Amino acid sequence: MKQLISERNSTNTDIFLSLASTKNHKYDNLVLEKNLHLPRKNCSGLTESYLDKCYKGEVLALKKDQIKQRNFQKTCSKLEIFEAINDVIRENGFKPLGFDETNLPNKDWLLDYLVTLKSNHEFFQRDQKARLPELLDKLSKE
């Protein structure tokens, strides 16, 4: 039975890769059919090779409903976020992200992945000094 399922999945992958002949078709199929949260379609880091790896399950690919909301983020670069995600991946033994530092996806997508994988990361923590006015306002209303 396992072999039959494995063969079917392999066949489905082959069919997908041959039918979804363009990057746009592959992207749309992964977003609509698999409900994956992918970088923006026009993002320079998004390649056809990355989309193929998503479909084959070779890279970390989160579904839209797995993505956590972020309410705050510190100022940080795409490279810093990418490195933070890779640290989390290494710590937890997750599949690779599928990008490298020379070919990064859009910043919002990176932040979505980081907050989902590690919502308590320092990039999402407010400094106590920055929160002081907010805390004083809250206390005055009590």
For 45-60, write each residue's pLDDT tens digit. 899 999 999 999 999 9
Residue 62 has pLDDT above 80, yes or no: yes
Q: How many CB atoms lie within 10 A of CB 52?
A: 19
Number of domains in the chain: 1
Distances (CA, A) of 139 to 72, 109, 127, 129, 142: 21, 36, 18, 16, 5
For the chain, the average pLDDT equals 82
> What percentage of the chain exceeds 90 in pLDDT?
59
Please give the average per-residue pLDDT across 88-109, as a whole number. 94
Query: pTM (2 decimals)?
Result: 0.72
Q: Which residues form the domain of 73? A: 2-141
Burial of 22 from C-beta contacts in 10 A (0-12 / 13-18 / 19+): exposed
pLDDT of residue 82: 96
